[in-house]
Amino acid sequence: MTSPRRAPGAPGGPAAAAAAAAARGGGRGRPVPVPVPVPVPGAGLCPPPPRHCPRPRPLPVLLALAAAAAFLYAAWPPVGDPAGNAPPGGRRGRSEAELRELAAALEPRRLRETFLRPLLRPRVPGSAGSRAARQHLAARLGALSAGWRLELDAFEAATPRGPVAFASLVATAAPAAARRRLALACHYDSKALPPDARGRPFVGATDSALPCALLLELAAALDARLRHAARQGADTTLQLLFLDGEEAFGEWSASDSLYGARHLAARMAAAPHPPGGTQLGAISLLVLLDLLGAPEPTIYSHFARTHAWFLQLVAIEKRLHRLGLLRSHPREQMYFQPGPAPGPVEDDHVPFLQRGVPVLHLIPTPFPRVWHTPEDTEANLDPPTAENLGKILAVFVADFLRL
């Protein structure tokens, strides 16, 4: 699917979508984007915040779109361009046998029953559900053999509901020798929404229990490879960021959103990391997963700086499709669309991006139809899509880390 759909549950398009979102319990800093000029490296024509461009008058719209189209035609990295588009480092040219081995390492039942289901509960920051989710994440990583170091970034912050305790979990595989990190991130909190008329709580299956479960599944599937890489003295290792407090308690704003990401990015920017840099500077690439698990997601490349890495995801999806390794995947290119995104989406990547960290933002646009509703449950996840995304990301991580 190459063009954005209308906002889920809002037949009138973006304006109706915004009204529907407000009616569901407060604003969100990540609305379904409207077609606006795409952001370019690190900033853009409409960088966040604000979260979307204001609607200009008709003539300026046409002029702006024409200028943006001309700019993008000249500046946006073309698909398959052999010059300047190869990502730095990373492994290329895996055999069919290697790809089949990587795909087979992922276990759908483990993803669903062991990693996902314990997260399908309200996870509002500072609550018992939040603590249980965090303990689940830590316990599952602690049971692996790759030598994960677990750190808690705990703090208290003022919110529209008063002071709230937050805690993000930072997990790094065998960190002793590795100087660099590939960071995969998600938020594990759920939005504070009241139960619906039937008494159903909001559990946020796509937002973002499934992305968190995918990170656990990747760590488990690549466990032996990560352990071997550490023994070989690999320069780059895998880091997982489970961020708390992404959701706003009221209307999304710079102060009421991204609590965990803002605090952690600032802390890592000040924390020393050998040989003379900072923990933030050690991140070679931050890959943020959000709102994943619904059927047929359409994921775009948001930043020209990391477009070459996004093209790796495009290529991996195509190759796994051709090998018959993706379930219910009728076209070779379904998820990862190589063109620029319809517009900016504000999310947990922003505090890292603002400090110079290269970012891949893997979020579907438009958002899932169940976004911020009690229908965002396991029943509305699409198991083949979740499994396919896991396989694509497993190959991507293995290639990046040369596993």
Which residues on adjacent β-strands are paired with residue 167?
154
> What is the distance between the alpha carbons of residues 170 and 180, in angstroms, rounded to a whole number?
15
**217 among known catalytic residues:** no
Distance (Å, rounded) from C-alpha 51 to C-alpha 253?
9
By the 8 A CB rule, do 191 and 203 touch? no
Active-site residue, 256 included: no
Q: CB atoms < 10 A from the CB of 291, how many?
A: 26
Q: Tell me 341's DSSP state.
A: P
CB-based contact 241:183 (threshold 8 Å): yes
Structure tokens at 205: 């299956």
**Dihedral pair phi/psi, residue 172, rounded to 5°:** -125, 125
Q: In Å, how far from its chain's centre is CA 20?
A: 24
Centre a 10 Å sphere on the Cβ of residue 283 and count the other Cβ atoms it contains: 24
Question: Which is the catalytic residue, given 153, 223, 244, 290?
Answer: 290
Helix (H) or strand (E) holding 397: helix 383-401
Q: Kindly name the residue from 246, 247, 317, 382 that is annotated as catalytic.
A: 246
Upstream peptide bond of 330 is cis (omega within 30 degrees of 0): no
Task: Determine if the peptide bond prior to 275 is cis (ω within 30°).
Answer: yes
Q: % helix / strand / coil in the chain, to the nearest 5? A: 35, 15, 50
> What does the DSSP 8-state code read for residue 14?
H
Query: What is the set of active-site residues?
Result: 246, 290
